[in-house]
Amino acid sequence: MRRKLSLRLPTRLDQLERIYEAVDELGESEEWPPGMVYQVKLVLEELGVNIVTHGHANDPEHEFEVVLDSDSETLTIELRDEGPAFNPLTDSPEPDIESGVEDRPVGGLGIYLVRTMMDELSYRRENDKNVLTIVKRKENG
């Protein structure tokens, strides 16, 4: 089966809840493997918080879009936002995951979790928008 959900949301933190509800619904109806609903919610939280806080924070004039397209093998996510150009593949430093408690920098893990948990990420800047396409294969859920 194939199911697609599209959301167009104001760039506000309280809107992320609507994304989580959509993920729960799609994960259940498309029978994602255990763990995948969690991973997809986490990825959309990390990216969603970035879009809202670094983009047009709490400006109701701006919106961002999330498309979730799930088929029998793959989930494809597309995120579009109107914020400043940000390519999570190149504009986010590799976090320090080796240092001890004292020396380890606080933060910087969000994008790293996204890159590690998902199978493919591609970014393009199109019509002054960030367009991020993410692929998660169910067999790796």
Q: Which is nearer to other proteins, 37 or 132 (CB)?
A: 37
Nearer to other proteins, 104 or 125 (CB): 104
Helix axes 36-54, 16-29, angle to 10 degrees: 160
Cβ 128 to other proteins shortest distance, Å: 26
Report the nearest approach of other proteins to the CB of residue 22 (Å): 16
The smaller minimum CB distance to other proteins, of residues 1 and 97, is found at 97
CB of 127 to other proteins, least distance (A): 28
By the criterion CB under 8 A, which residues form the site for other proteins?
13-14, 16, 34-35, 38-39, 41-42, 45-46, 49, 95, 97-98, 100-102, 104, 106-107, 109-110, 112-113, 116-117
The residue to which tokens 């194939």 are assigned: 2
Residue 101 Cβ, how far from other proteins at the closest point, in Å? 5
